[in-house]
């Protein structure tokens, strides 16, 4: 940073380096982007740090499922069905959903973890 005094003289501050190691603290399903979409969209979700009560307290990860349902509740896609944990990275994951074989309409994306927490978001496919 450059500091300029009233008399016009200036000096630079020492270089400061900051490292942020932010781990998610909540089990979260973010709204897909773009929405409405045609034919692909990105769905992002976060898994809390290991041992968190919201993760079920499981070491080594929690079983996570991410599924897409049509307006009648029929499952149309399983995007994720495996153990996930924050230990292998930032704990934030993204998956692409390709709905090119589906008709236009409203769909629901549901994220569920091993301890029974469910989060649902609405997706709108417009062709």
Per-residue pLDDT tens over the stretch 13-26: 888 888 776 677 78
What is this structure's pTM?
Answer: 0.71
Distance separating alpha carbons of residues 24 and 69, to the nearest angstrom? 26
What per-residue confidence (pLDDT) applies to 88? 54
CATH classification of 21-125, choosing from 1.10.760.10, 3.50.50.60, 2.60.40.1930, 3.30.1330.60? 2.60.40.1930
For the chain, which residues make up each domain, given as ranges? 21-125
Distance separating alpha carbons of residues 104 and 49, to the nearest angstrom? 37
b/e code 3-14 from CB counts within 10 Å (16+ = b): eeeeeeeeeeee
Q: What is the pLDDT of residues 62-93, one digit of tens each?
A: 788 999 999 999 999 999 998 876 555 558 88
């Amino acid at each position: 940073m450059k500091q300029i005094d009233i008399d016009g003289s200036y000096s630079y501050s020492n270089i400061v380096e900051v490292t942020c190691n932010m781990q998610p603290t909540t089990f979260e399903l973010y709204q897909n982007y773009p929405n409405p979409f045609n034919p692909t969209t990105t769905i992002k979700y976060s898994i809390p740090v290991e041992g968190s009560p919201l993760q079920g307290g499981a070491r080594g990860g929690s079983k996570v499922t991410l599924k897409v349902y049509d307006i009648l509740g029929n499952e149309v896609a399983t995007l994720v069905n495996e153990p996930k944990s924050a230990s292998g990275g930032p704990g934030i994951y993204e998956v692409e959903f390709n709905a090119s074989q589906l008709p236009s309409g409203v769909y629901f994306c549901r994220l569920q973890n091993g301890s029974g927490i469910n989060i649902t978001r609405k997706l709108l496919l417009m062709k």
